[in-house]
């Protein structure tokens, strides 16, 4: 067991952390679990036939039909992500719910498609083994990810506004590192909190609460938690407005306080009940469907266009010296940096040459744009014109760093020059395309207008809107109106 823990902590975890492969690994394990459940049921019920189930066309078709449905059900019930503070019993109930839904779907398929040549016992056993395998591997993943989070990965940055009543909550967060919560700062007047945590947590007096605006701008803050016995309504609304402006999640302890929070939902953290105000798109089922679409479309496109990707790579390599794929640090969800992948469209020393071209920048604001950028190669102009240079970002989408549709991820230097209201565009996962990318005259659009378009997308987000933008993006590629 020590060898296993050492391997996980010292080798596997750093590797997965470096490449952000958790989402892909978890999805693959779920697929393998469902595959094994189907095969076990097949062996038990059709041992006289033997072999693997996909050798039989009828079973292969049924598996292809039920696999995505089961995965979608897991996403919709929100149990595909490893929970932070859920108990094992709650996990058990959630997976049992997903299995019951699958059983219902299997019975519907059985009678609608008249699958009478397939044993109903086989279908029930498949659901049972699926539940068993999925729940078992999730328990293992839960334990592994606890260790992962305890090492400082996949954490949520919190700012607390607290009094003496928050002591048990703070203690639980600090002592249970595997939950993955990091207290960035505490605004408090509590002498007990100051005395107990003066060396371990940054503490600020409550009279400096207005500086929370600067703190959220300067640091990566995911959530602000108001956990006080006596709730000051004016104080709550002021902080909530600041969070709303930047797209930061705001929570207040749910002690049946008489505070009316628009769009508030009930949530739990560390076994405490909170009212959570989320002013960014928050429809769990729609967001789950968005993520499923991201994975499905990205994986499908990657497989279908792999020959084109190889040809482009060879063309780039033969046309100019340098790497085929260009990786660049961009700013993602809530200011987190990540490596964005693109086909290289410029000369190898393009970043160095940019400093010499700042004086002829044709874009207003912090962005850099040039219509006839001398750094762009001949093939680079074609790739940019068609948008094909962005295709490697399908890997960013599969890794969970980006989405198909969303505001484009900016450069770190650009975000430093953002005005306060523009920072809210970082409150959602960045995307491959958004409103700006589908405009035929996009290079003539002013920077502030571009930012307003991204915020409009955030405020009006829906699955339908994503679908419309996706179709228009495809149209833009074929009409070659990029750049």
**What are the residues whose beta carbons fall under 8 Å from the beta carbon of 13, sequence distance 6 or more?**
147, 148, 151, 153
Q: How far apart are CA 428 and CA 246, in angstroms?
A: 11
Apex CA 340: angle with CA 425 and CA 249, to 5°? 30
Band of residue 126 on the pLDDT scale cut at 50, 70, 90: very high
Give per-residue pLDDT as tens, 317-355: 998 888 999 999 999 988 889 999 999 988 877 777 776
pLDDT of residue 1 exceeding 50: no
Q: What percent of the chain has pLDDT over 90?
A: 31
User: Which residue(s) pair with 275 in the sheet?
Assistant: 252, 266
* pLDDT of res. 19: 52
Give per-residue pLDDT as tens, 186-196: 999 999 999 99
Q: To the nearest whole number, what is the mean pLDDT of the chain?
A: 83
Domain ranges in the chain?
2-150, 156-277, 284-479
CATH class of the domain at 156-277: alpha beta
Band of residue 12 on the pLDDT scale cut at 50, 70, 90: low
How many C-beta atoms surround the C-beta of residue 325 within 10 A?
12
Mean pLDDT of 57-64: 88
* pLDDT of res. 483: 45
Q: Which long-range contacts (CB under 8 A, 24 or more apart) does 422-426 make?
A: 422/451, 423/217, 423/246, 423/247, 424/245, 424/246, 424/247, 424/455, 424/458, 425/451, 425/454, 425/455, 425/458, 426/247, 426/331, 426/332, 426/333, 426/334, 426/335
Q: Where are the beta strands (DSSP E) in 53-113?
A: none
Band of residue 170 on the pLDDT scale cut at 50, 70, 90: very high
Q: What is the pTM of this model?
A: 0.71
pLDDT of residue 381 exceeding 50: yes
pLDDT of residue 383 exceeding 80: yes
Give per-residue pLDDT as tens, 204-252: 998 888 889 888 888 889 999 999 988 888 888 889 888 888 888 899 9
């Amino acid at each position: 067991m020590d060898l296993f823990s050492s391997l996980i902590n010292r080798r596997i975890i750093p590797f997965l952390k470096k490449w952000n492969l958790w989402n892909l690994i978890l999805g693959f394990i779920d697929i393998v679990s469902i595959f094994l459940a189907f095969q076990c049921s097949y062996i038990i019920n059709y041992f006289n036939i033997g072999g693997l189930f996909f050798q039989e066309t009828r079973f292969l078709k049924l598996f292809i039909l039920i696999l995505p449905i089961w995965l979608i059900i897991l996403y919709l019930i929100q149990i595909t992500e490893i929970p932070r503070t859920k108990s094992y019993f709650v996990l058990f109930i959630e997976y049992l719910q997903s299995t019951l839904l699958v059983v219902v779907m299997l019975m519907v398929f059985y009678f609608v498609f008249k699958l009478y040549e397939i044993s109903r016992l086989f279908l029930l056993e498949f659901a049972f083994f699926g539940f068993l395998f999925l729940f078992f591997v999730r328990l293992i993943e839960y334990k592994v990810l606890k260790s992962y989070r305890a090492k400082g990965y996949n954490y949520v940055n919190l700012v607390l506004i607290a009094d003496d009543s928050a002591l048990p909550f703070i203690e639980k967060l600090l002592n249970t590192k595997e939950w993955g919560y990091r207290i960035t700062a505490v605004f408090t007047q509590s002498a007990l909190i100051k005395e107990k945590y003066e060396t371990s947590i940054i503490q600020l007096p409550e009279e400096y609460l207005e500086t929370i605006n600067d703190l959220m701008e300067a640091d990566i803050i995911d959530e602000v938690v108001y956990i006080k016995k006596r709730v000051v309504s004016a104080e709550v609304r002021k902080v909530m407005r600041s969070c709303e402006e930047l797209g930061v999640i705001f929570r207040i302890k749910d002690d049946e306080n008489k505070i009316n929070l628009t769009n508030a939902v009930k949530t739990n953290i560390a076994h405490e009940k909170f009212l959570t105000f989320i002013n960014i798109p928050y429809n769990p089922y729609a967001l789950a469907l968005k993520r499923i679409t991201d994975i499905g479309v990205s994986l499908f496109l990657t497989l279908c266009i792999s020959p084109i990707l190889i040809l482009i790579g060879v063309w780039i390599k033969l046309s100019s010296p340098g790497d085929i794929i260009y990786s660049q640090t961009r700013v993602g969800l809530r200011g987190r940096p990540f490596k964005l992948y693109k086909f290289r469209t410029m000369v190898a020393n393009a970043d160095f040459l940019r400093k010499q071209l700042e004086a002829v920048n044709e874009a207003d604001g912090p962005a850099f744009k040039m219509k006839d950028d001398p750094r762009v190669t001949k093939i680079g102009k074609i790739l940019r014109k068609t948008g094909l240079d962005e295709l490697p970002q399908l890997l960013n989408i599969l890794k969970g760093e980006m989405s198909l549709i969303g505001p484009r991820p900016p450069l770190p230097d650009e975000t430093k020059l953002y005005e306060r209201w523009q920072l809210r565009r970082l409150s959602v996962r960045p995307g491959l395309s958004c409103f700006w990318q589908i405009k035929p005259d996009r290079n003539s659009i002013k920077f502030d207008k571009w930012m307003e378009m991204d915020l409009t997308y955030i405020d009006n987000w829906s699955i339908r809107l994503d679908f419309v933008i996706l179709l228009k993006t495809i149209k833009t590629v074929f009409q070659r109106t990029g750049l």
